[in-house]
């Protein structure tokens, strides 16, 4: 599964916000994830609002 598929499954609004750059998508270690990045089963993904927006 890719990051974008996980976001769409979770919430279309979060996916739209990520596309607009309003949120930063990170893994459990705080590293940024791209929308085309792959996820393993059980991966934790976090959405953080960008402070500069």
Helix (H) or strand (E) holding 35, with range, is none
**The residue to which tokens 């598929």 are assigned:** 5
Q: State the pLDDT confidence band at 53, using cuts at 50, 70 and 90.
A: low
Mean pLDDT of 10-18: 95
Q: State the pLDDT confidence band at 47, using cuts at 50, 70 and 90.
A: very high
Per the structure block, which two tokens stand in for 15? 């996916």
How far apart, in whole angstroms, are the C-alpha atoms of residue 3 and residue 25? 9
How far apart, in whole angstroms, are the C-alpha atoms of residue 27 and residue 47? 9
Residue range 23-39, pLDDT digits in tens: 999 999 999 999 999 99
Neighbour tally for 24: CB within 10 Å: 15
Q: State the pLDDT confidence band at 50, using cuts at 50, 70 and 90.
A: confident
Domain definitions of the chain by residue range: 3-49
Beta bridge partners of 26: 32, 46
* DSSP state, residue 51: T
């Amino acid at each position: 599964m890719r990051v974008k598929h996980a976001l769409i499954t979770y919430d279309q609004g979060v996916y739209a916000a990520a596309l607009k750059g309003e949120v930063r998508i990170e893994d459990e270690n705080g590293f940024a994830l791209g929308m085309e990045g792959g996820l393993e089963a059980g991966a934790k993904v976090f959405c953080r609002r960008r402070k500069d927006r």
